[in-house]
Amino acid sequence: MDLLLGFKDGISIHKIIYIFMNDKHIREKYLKLILLLFIFCIIDLANSYISKFKNNYFYFYVIYFIFYNLLVYIPLFLFSFFMSVNVTNTINKRFIDFYLTEKKQNIKTISKVSTEIHIFIIFLMYVVFLNMIFFIPFVGYYLFLVLSILQYIYYCLDYGMNYHNIYHIKKMSLISNNILYFLGFGFVFGIILINSNFTIAHVSTSLMIPIYVVKSYFILPKILKREIKEYSKYMFSIFVVPYWLSNCLIEFCFDKIKKD
């Protein structure tokens, strides 16, 4: 039931599209992102066409491949990635300032900042954990796909959770306690990842993330109202291994600092 409810909420993005189309500031930002990603696709498509001749002109292709990746593809990918983040942050701020009637005060104390750094390290370890899981025989790919959906959903929800003053362990507990709902909610990301190459997946997720960031503000109040379980003191479920890896990394860094 939670899975279907999450799926229904995940595909109901017409309100968000309406806001994007009618707000001039958001529309301009989003269209610039679309244009950049379109150029990224065209360049990748041209590279795919040229790669067909690699057997006939092998040495020329090796030089071209190095030149293309170092001077074109990687810089353009990084630029599009950071622009996507910038567009998402701009749209998020615009939405909070002009579309949310209830204004919340987000004053991060030093302790909250430190816990957010810890969360960031856990998130990095989660990505490492994903890549480790991928190589498990038979089931690795499917586990990777499911956990990748939650990775994107966590990123989208992070904006809304910060707005509602949900920090640190509470963020992870909220997702762990409603994991079926969020798997349904992020089903679109699963469809994108399962049948797409790297470029298509990057372009599609870059376009979808700003929409789902705004969508998170609509679904979080409903999730918070039905959240009756206490927040886990032990990083239950999908975050157990990333939490353990992050603690190992932090302990290693502190030991190195002490020795120095």
The angle formed by the CA atoms of residues 35, 18 and 27, to the nearest 5 degrees, is 30
Q: Write out residues in the chain with pLDDT < 50, as ranges.
A: 107-111, 228-236
Q: How many domains does the chain divide into?
A: 1
Hey, what are 99's tokens?
Answer: 């579309």
Task: Please give the pLDDT value at position 175.
Answer: 80
- pLDDT (tens digit per residue) in 163-173: 887 766 677 77
Distance between CA atoms of residues 25 and 9, nearest Å: 26
- pLDDT (tens digit per residue) in 89-142: 889 888 888 887 665 555 444 445 555 566 667 777 777 777 788 788 888 888
The residue range of the domain holding 41 is 2-259
Task: Please give the pLDDT value at position 214.
Answer: 92
